[in-house]
Structure 1
């Protein structure tokens, strides 16, 4: 029993320590994803050590200490995305329709042909903006029925799992379709006009994930996230960045994005809102994100029912409350993190100046 639990302790140590190495290889960066599962594993292992081993020996005490440290470390990353944490974004009770902005993001999964389910959600929730990811020409044809109510659109149908569409009830100006890092991975950048007349700088992203079937490293994904973060960091305009970022909310790189950009995460203190994978509840992670500037507070955020994609849609309702929300603060970057962000963009030879700045 001691040998088995010792081997398990070695495994949880490896799972915990590997992400500290900032190497972009997909296997190492992938360790950021199952932190919740690692935390559960560490908790179960700690219970087994306490109940089944002789706690008077130095070896067992060392095992218990190592497992406890791993458990605390994994919990530290997960805890902000629970109800136990202080909310980063204030809750708004303002029902003024003119101030509200609702965004529905949905990775539709290209082979999925259940467009009726997504259209039904759009009709039910009436979002101001619909963002579809992995949408091809077939999806574009099916979604024509919503254009009567959402007359403003930007369309980029692709068959490579990186198609993207934006439909809106609100005017979309200064539209730019870009390929910031990879030639076949688009992003959309617009100036969105609220009903109040205020202009919002919006960026819709879907960088490729680090994986053995996509990019062997996270360098491309990380570079796209950080160059956008640097671009919006000093903007005085209302800002929204949303999409399937192929990174979990609690990863070091998403945390770096939040620090560099200064944007807020409405999930902090409310829950993880895991959107992927629909078919595997034991392995679900928050891959679909929405970050915003302090110009907004939160009406509500919810994960919507499945549309037969591998992702659940995510609906976020914001309220434009500036300047009343200006006291909201995110997390700050340290000097060492600023240096890391420079290394990420320099590696792919990209710059914040490559990112469009609508509404500026």
Structure 2
């Protein structure tokens, strides 16, 4: 039991240290994801050390100190995404239909064939804009009926798990599919016209994750996110960035994205809204995101029901309020953040 507890404690501390190393290789970046899991296991390990470790007293104190420090550190990282954290996006007071936009983001899982389940979930959520990810030609044909209610579309179906389909009730202008970093990984960029006539810039992205069967480095993912951050920062119009970012809400890269873009995360101060993995409750992370400019307030954010995918859909209802940016503070990038962002964008 003592040997097990020593190994357990050492691994938990090691996993946290690995996540601190600023290396793009997947063996380091993978430890960004399970911070909630590491926190839970650290609490368990602390309990076991206190009540069941029977070895040397000095060793016991050192182990308890190390695991306690690790637990406090992890709590510090995840606390902003609980109801105890400060909200980055304020709740809207009074619903304004003409100034609101309801968005549904869903990674459908390309091999999933529950097309009817997907359509039913869209019907229940009743969004203005639907982004479907991991969509190939089979999925495009299966959800074609959406065009009866969603007249405006942008399609980039692909059979490599990076296809995307965008459907909108609201008018789209200057819509285009772009390949920002990789030739086979599309992103969608468009202006959306709210019922009030207000123009909003929408960026839909799905960069590749740092995993062995995709990219062994996070370089391409980080670069794409930071290129989109530049677009958002330079834009004079309200901005919304949506998609499966293949990165968790609390990672260093996501925080760097927020600092460089000037956008806000409506999750902060409200909850994790873990969207992946739908089939394994203990291994869930917030991978599907919506980031918004400070001139939006939140009506509602919600995780929807899975329909056979490995992701839960995420639903967001936001409201444009031109004075909101005087009440909401985006994160600020310092000189080190700017230097790091430039280095990441320059990598090949």
2:160 maps to: 160
2:38 maps to: 38
1:238 maps to: 238
Matches within 5 A, 1:1-360: 1-53=1-53, 57-348=57-348
Matched residues in 2 for 1:155 and 1:211: separation?
A: 26
Cα pair 2:2 2:54 within 8 Å, conserved: no
RMSD across aligned C-alpha pairs, in angstroms? 1.4
Secondary structure of 1:282's aligned partner: coil
Matched residues in 1 for 2:19 and 2:244: separation?
A: 21
Matched residues in 1 for 2:9 and 2:123: separation?
A: 51
Moved more, 147-156 or 230-239: 230-239
Cα pair 2:89 2:328 within 8 Å, conserved: yes
Q: How far 1:15 moved relative to its partner?
A: 0.3
Q: What do the CA deviations read for 1:17-53 (whole angstroms, capped 9, x no partner)?
A: 0111111111210001111111111111111122234
Q: How far 1:56 moved relative to its partner?
A: 8.8
Moved more, 326-335 or 196-205: 326-335
Q: How far 1:227 moved relative to its partner?
A: 1.2
Ranges in structure 2 where 5+ consecutive residues have no aligned partner: none
Matched residues in 2 for 1:270 and 1:159: separation?
A: 35
What is the aligned length?
A: 348
Q: How far 1:198 moved relative to its partner?
A: 1.0
Secondary structure of 2:326's aligned partner: coil
Matched residues in 2 for 1:110 and 1:268: separation?
A: 30
Matched residues in 2 for 1:341 and 1:225: separation?
A: 10
Secondary structure of 2:86's aligned partner: coil
Secondary structure of 2:71's aligned partner: helix
Matched residues in 2 for 1:178 and 1:309: separation?
A: 26
Ranges in structure 1 where 5+ consecutive residues have no aligned partner: 349-360
